[in-house]
Amino acid sequence: MARQNTDFTPIEEINDIHTRLTQTFKSGVTRLLPYRRRQLLQLARLLQDNIVPIEDALLADLGKQRQESTSVEVGAVIEACLYAAEHLEEWAKPHKPKVAEWRSSWDTTVYQTHI
């Protein structure tokens, strides 16, 4: 099995990358559903585009055969990403829980802020 040359992020760049990611998170953009859907779909695409190197790594590190890697490991994550992207709005929409009779006139609504 031929090893592929892999480029790693230089140590000097890691602090800048961390700062940029922290700023993005603090800006609140990651809370928006379109952003989350895009990230999920990009993760699924990344896995699809890199299936062979992932299979190679799982074979080299864990001794997992390609078919097993694809169906059990990579395929399951791709499926989970696509499922989550499809159901994001449903999971995020507010819902009204059942409340005690004496609270029924209140507008009790639960908003999902940590999906």
What are the residue boundaries of the structural domains of the chain, listed by start?
12-103
The pLDDT of residue 38: 97
Task: Take residue 44 and report the two structure tokens written for it.
Answer: 């699924």
Cα torsion angle, 27, 31, 35, 39, sign: positive
Contact 23, 79 (CB under 8 A): no
The enclosing H or E element of 15 equals helix 11-26
Instruction: List, for residues 50-72, the tens digit of each pLDDT value.
Output: 999 999 999 999 999 999 989 88
pLDDT of 112 above 60: yes
Contact 78, 47 (CB under 8 A): yes
Strand partners, 95: 110
The enclosing H or E element of 9 equals none
Classify domain 12-103 at the CATH topology level. Aldehyde Dehydrogenase; Chain A, domain 1 (3.40.605)
